Amino acid sequence: MKKKSAKKRREKLQKKVDELHGYRCYHDDDVEVRKGKYGLGVYAVRQFLPGELVFEVTGQLLSHENYHGSNYVMELNENWYLEPTIPAAFLNHSCSPNSELVQLTKYSLGLVAICNIEPESEIVFDYQWEPHEGTPQCRCGALNCRGWVVAAHAVHKMGKPNKKEKKK
Ligand SMILES: [Zn+2]
């Protein structure tokens, strides 16, 4: 009983956070975070040309030594991870990406358009994950979808994706 009411209270308070502070509905003149087919994603507000900086990705800096990485962590350099803040934290993976990450400063990455990106389209990049326990199946819907959210060079290590697997 207690657990249930605590959960309810959390939901209510989260709603308040969303209404008052809008962390999860980020938007500026370039991009916005909103709900897509598979949950929240980052969408272009305006057109981006190939080679154009979409935004700077900043976040919490974590050393490789003391941290083994989360699903969303990005590699800053050989010694440091970057756990991205909003909006980058909501970027989804695609096997057919329209952007990629580059090192921009000592403390940040840059998300750069690799093709024309029209307003309203979702901005996605290739996570290039190494296979790990619980590697998710990919639902990016691209014609060349690899079936798993893993790097192209590692697809051969994965089995056949189960087409019928339901979203959890
Ligand atoms: Zn895919």
Residues 24-83 have pLDDT tens digits of 889 999 999 999 887 899 999 999 999 999 999 999 999 988 877 677 788 898 899 999
**Domains of the chain: which residue ranges?**
27-128
CA–centroid distance, 94 to ligand 1, in Å, is 5
**CB-based burial label for 49 (10 Å; 0-12, 13-18, 19+):** exposed
CA–centroid distance, 19 to ligand 1, in Å, is 33
Give the torsion sign (CA, 76, 109, 24, 39).
negative
Minimum mean pLDDT among 4-18, 95-109, 149-163: which range? 149-163
The pLDDT value recorded for residue 89 is 93
Q: How far is CA 149 from the centre of its chain?
A: 12
CA–centroid distance, 17 to ligand 1, in Å, is 33
Dihedral pair phi/psi, residue 111, rounded to 5°? -95, 120
**CB-based burial label for 99 (10 Å; 0-12, 13-18, 19+):** buried
Ligand 1 ion: residues within 5 Å (CB):
95, 138, 140, 145
Question: In CATH, which of 1.10.510.10, 3.40.30.10, 2.170.270.10, 3.60.70.12 is domain 27-128?
Answer: 2.170.270.10
Q: Please say if the pLDDT value at position 165 is more than 80.
A: no
CA–centroid distance, 63 to ligand 1, in Å, is 30
How far apart, in whole angstroms, are the C-alpha atoms of residue 31 and residue 36?
14
> Residue 21 is inside which H or E element, if any?
helix 2-21
CA–centroid distance, 140 to ligand 1, in Å, is 4
Report the mean per-residue pLDDT for the chain.
Answer: 90
How far apart, in whole angstroms, are the C-alpha atoms of residue 39 and residue 145?
19
